[in-house]
Amino acid sequence: MNEPLSVGQLCGWLRYHLEDELPPVAVVGEIADYKRHSSGHHYFELKERNERVLCVCWQSNAARLRFAPANGLQVLVRGPLTYYGPHAKIQINVQSMSPIGVGAADMALRLLTEKIRGLGWMDRPRKPLPRFPRRVALVTSASSAAVRDMVQSFANRWPLCELVIANCRVQGATAPAEIAGCLKSLNALHESRKLVLDAIIVGRGGGSGEDLMAFNAESVVAAIVASTVPVVSAIGHEVDRTLADAVADAGAETPSNAVTLITPSQSELKTSLLTMRDRFRESLHGKVIQAERRLEMIATRPAFARPLDRLRRGEQRLDDLGERLRNAMLRRVERSRVKVAALAAQLESVSPLNVLKRGYSLTRTVDGAVLRDAGQVSAGAEIVTSLASGEVRSTVINTQAG
Amino acid sequence: MQTFEAALAELETVLRELESDTTSLDDALAKYERGVGLLRQCYGQLKNAEQKIMQLTGTNADGTPVLEPFEHTAAIGK
């Protein structure tokens, strides 16, 4: 290598050896100087004592991180080395990063728990569970003991419910995506009314620690929260509750318990139907007895027992009324008679005949009009004068206005 | 036919009405008949219930689900 190189040639040569010839590296270190750029890219350093290496996590990789990286956290990063010419930097192009060491998984879980609490998902309003479900989907491994237990519980308690098994892996790297995928497609079918569901049970049989990690995955938690169908988590666990339990509409200890939460008991129902049948019978029987008693009471009333009594009572009442009517009429006639005499006397006192008796007279034209004004007649007219006794006919000689 | 839940709810209503003192005898008889019919329907549904279990294997282009009978005895065998 005696020929001098240009800077560009040297940079190209470095890039070629770092990026194309070296296999990707896996490095463990403590995060320092962590920066989230607004572009979505993350820049940080991994340090060990006083040595450091630069790392960059592009936005597409950063979006897939399953925990929130923070300074001081021990992590394992994987990815190829690159040479960034403009700043003369060698850096790791981080493809994946996970917390490591004692409690690292717990740390990641704790960080996710904080995030979920911050989003308000822990105390979001829960959807009501069905009481008599017609169709329920089971999101679990189709070949598991959990499916067998749930099918058996449904058969015992509520066989009227149709079951739809949505098969998925419940542990391993692909489990979270498969579980979340099942929840999403079931909801899509429900919302388009193609497969209406009353509830979804998501779960697995017993397991501990790593086995349950899928139910702590953010994608699964988010799918449960986004579900329009009520979700019951049924994760048989020996230790802590999972995040799926914390956000589900109900969390059951075991798959069978999940079935109990959303179904009535068939045997209890049969008992209560029997009780109702008895109540119906007793109630109707009571009504019949009551009606019979009323009928009896009516039949024994005097009117039905001795019909003539009633007739006689009627006659007596009629007699009585007749008497009262007659008396009332007599009293009324008497009152009228007295009143008529009084009125006659009053009328007598104002009669014009009485005035004539005192020497006055009443003069009328031949038409009968009473004369009050001399202008009513003229000379030659005939007039009639009524006296207390008899009439005088006269002819007018002359008139003189008053 | 009504759902079990609806039939049960109506049963309770009819029974409550029958047990109140205000119904006439004719009305009571009609209610009793209705109640017996509903009881028979509920019993029948429970008695004839045959568990239906399907496995969702995918979704058609038109958005309808692809369902296949699920043989759960195979799972029990394991």
Instruction: Please tell me the predicted confidence (pLDDT) of residue A305.
Output: 64
- What are A89-114's pLDDT values in tens digits? 999 999 999 888 645 666 778 888 88
Q: Burial of A65 by CB count in 10 Å (0-12 exposed, 13-18 middle, 19+ buried)?
A: middle
- In the DSSP assignment, the letter for residue A53 is E
Q: Tell me, what DSSP letter sits at residue A87?
A: G
Burial of B20 (0-12, 13-18, 19+ CB in 10 A): exposed
Is the pLDDT confidence value at A235 over 80?
A: yes
Asked if B59 and A185 come within 8 Å (Cβ–Cβ), the reply is yes
Q: Flag if A148 and B59 touch (Cβ within 8 Å).
A: no
Cα angle, residue A383 at apex, residues A378 and A384 outer, rounded to 5°: 165
Q: pLDDT-derived band of residue B76, with 50, 70 and 90 as boundaries?
A: very low
Q: Which two tokens stand for residue A242?
A: 């999972």
Number of A/B CB contacts below 8 angstroms equals: 112
Confidence band for A304, pLDDT divided at 50, 70 and 90: low
DSSP 8-class letter at A370? B
Residues of chain B with a CB closer than 8 angstroms to some CB in chain A: 3-5, 8, 11-12, 15, 18-19, 23, 25, 28-29, 32, 35-36, 39, 42-43, 45-46, 49-56, 59, 63-65, 67, 70, 72, 74-76, 78
CB contact (8 A) between residue B53 and residue A279: no
- For helices A255-262 and A145-157, the axis angle rounded to 10 degrees is 30
Range of weakest confidence among A17-21, A170-174, A277-281, A291-295: A291-295
- Cβ neighbours of residue B24 closer than 8 Å, sequence gap 6 or more: none
Is residue A191 over pLDDT 90?
A: yes
* Top-confidence residue, A167 or A372: A167
Q: What is the pTM of this model?
A: 0.56
Average pLDDT of the residues in A301-310: 67
- Three-state DSSP state, A326: helix
For residue A85, the 8-state DSSP code is G
Query: How many angstroms away from the CA of B67 is the closest CA of chain A?
Result: 8
What number is the average pLDDT over the span A199-225?
88
Q: Spell out the residues 6+ positions from residue A1 whose beta carbon is closer than 8 angstroms to its own.
A: none
pLDDT computed for residue B77 by the predictor = 39
Nearest to A164 by CA among A147, A184, A177: A147
pLDDT per residue as tens digits for the range A32-77: 889 999 999 999 999 888 889 999 999 999 988 888 888 878 889 9
Asked if B5 lies within 8 A of A276 by C-beta distance, the reply is no
Per CB-CB distance under 8 Å, the chain B contacts of A145 are 75, 78
CA distance linking residue A185 with residue B64, whole number of Å: 11
**What's the average model confidence in pLDDT over B55-68?**
90
What pLDDT was estimated at residue A105?
Answer: 63
When comparing pLDDT for A145 and A388, which is higher? A145
pLDDT value at A320 more than 90: no
Mean of per-residue pLDDT scores for chain A: 87
Q: Do A277 and B39 touch (CB under 8 A)?
A: yes
**Closest residue by Cα to residue A121 from A276, A294, A269, A245:** A245
- What pLDDT score does A296 carry? 81
> Average pLDDT, stretch A370-386?
88
Give the one of B45, B54, B76 whose C-beta lies nearest to A164's C-beta: B54
CA distance to partner chain B, nearest, from residue A190 (Å): 10
pLDDT confidence of residue A211: 77
pLDDT of the residue at B65: 92
DSSP 3-state helix, strand, coil percentages of chain B (rounded to 5)?
60, 15, 25
Torsion angle of C-alpha atoms A76, A80, A85, A88, degrees rounded to 10:
40
Q: Residue A380: how many CA atoms within 13 Å on its side-chain side?
A: 0
What percent of chain A is modeled with pLDDT above 70?
A: 93
Residue A193 has pLDDT above 60, yes or no: yes
Q: What is the mean pLDDT of residues B45-63?
A: 87
Contact A137, A197 (CB under 8 A): yes
What is the Cα–Cα distance from A107 to A114, expressed in whole angstroms?
11
Give the minimum alpha-carbon distance from A29 to chain B in angstroms, rounded to a whole number: 44
Residues 6+ positions from A280 with CB-CB distance below 8 Å: B15, B18, B32, B35, B36, B39
- Res B55: pLDDT: 93
Q: Say which residue the tokens 């029990």 belong to.
A: B76
Binned at pLDDT 50, 70 and 90, residue A194 comes out as very high
State whether B70 and A270 contact (CB < 8 Å).
Answer: no
Percentage of chain A exceeding pLDDT 90: 42
- The length of chain B, given as a count of residues: 78
Predicted confidence at residue B53, as pLDDT, reads 92
Question: Please, which residues have CB within 8 angstroms of residue A353's CB and are 6 or more apart in sequence?
Answer: A388
Output the pLDDT for position B73.
56
Residue A6, φ and ψ in degrees, nearest 5:
-80, 165
Q: What are phi and psi of A264, to 5 degrees?
A: -80, 165
Q: Are A64 and A75 in contact (CB under 8 A)?
A: no
pLDDT of residue A238: 59
The CA angle B45-B50-B56, to the nearest 5 degrees, is: 125
Q: What is the pLDDT of residue A106?
A: 67
pLDDT, tens only, A342-360: 887 777 666 766 777 778 8
Given pLDDT bands bounded at 50, 70 and 90, which one contains residue A1? low
State the pLDDT at residue A228.
97
If you average pLDDT over residues B38-55, what whole number do you get? Answer: 87
**DSSP structure string for A245-288:** HHHSSEEESSHHHHHHHHS--HHHHHHHHHHHHHHHHHHHHHHH
